[in-house]
Amino acid sequence: MRAVLQRVSEAAVDVGPERVAEMGAGLLALVAVAGDDTDEDAVKLARKIVQLRVFNDDEMRMNHSLLDVGGSLAVVSQFTLFGDCRNGRRPFYGEAARPEHAAPLVGRVAEEARRLGCPVVTGRFQAQMAVSLVNDGPVTILLDTRNTF
């Protein structure tokens, strides 16, 4: 699984005219699932996200996690993180999981983060979403459960 994390002061997700998620300070996680990802990958990713020390302490060092600061987490599916652009001009999404495999694993990331004590909001799987955010820092982090980068 892959994720792009952005530290935010606020974020929201709209599907058409409907606001489906809204949160204050915390992390926005754009999450993608590969075809061979498992429940173990989802749990690993959730734990990494909520425990990652990307929030400032009193000395302005990134020493606090989402759990430490009591922030919220937005989990939004984004299969395009597996877009392979090495050949040609159109991304190839062959590594991305089929929706029936990906949806439960994206949900599992949110479920595990909640279990760990984090307030979680989510986007709507397979919907055309408008994601708005105010990036705090800016801080943007790439994660991959297979440690490919």
Residue 78 falls in the annotated catalytic set: yes
Question: Of 78, 82, 122, 145, which one is the catalytic site residue?
Answer: 78
User: What per-residue confidence (pLDDT) applies to 52?
Assistant: 98
pTM of the model: 0.96
Q: Among 15, 48, 32, 45, which residue's Cα sits nearest to residue 82? A: 32
Domain annotation covers residue 65: yes
19-35 mean pLDDT: 98
Encode pLDDT of 3-18 as tens digits.
999 999 999 999 999 9
pLDDT at residue 94 is higher than 90: yes
Encode pLDDT of 37-84 as tens digits.
999 999 999 999 999 999 999 999 999 999 999 999 999 999 999 999
143-148 mean pLDDT: 93
Write out the residue range of the structural domain in which residue 123 sits.
2-144
Number of domains in the chain: 1
Domain annotation covers residue 7: yes
Residue 101 CB contacts under 8 Å (≥ 6 apart), including other chains: 33, 35, 37
pLDDT at residue 149 is higher than 90: no
Domain annotation covers residue 111: yes
Domain annotation covers residue 45: yes
The band of 148, judged by pLDDT with boundaries at 50, 70 and 90, is confident
CATH number at residue 11: 3.50.80.10
Question: Of 80, 92, 126, 140, which one is the catalytic site residue?
Answer: 80
Question: Of 6, 55, 79, 82, which one is the catalytic site residue?
Answer: 79
Residue 92 falls in the annotated catalytic set: no
Residue 82 falls in the annotated catalytic set: no
107-126 mean pLDDT: 98
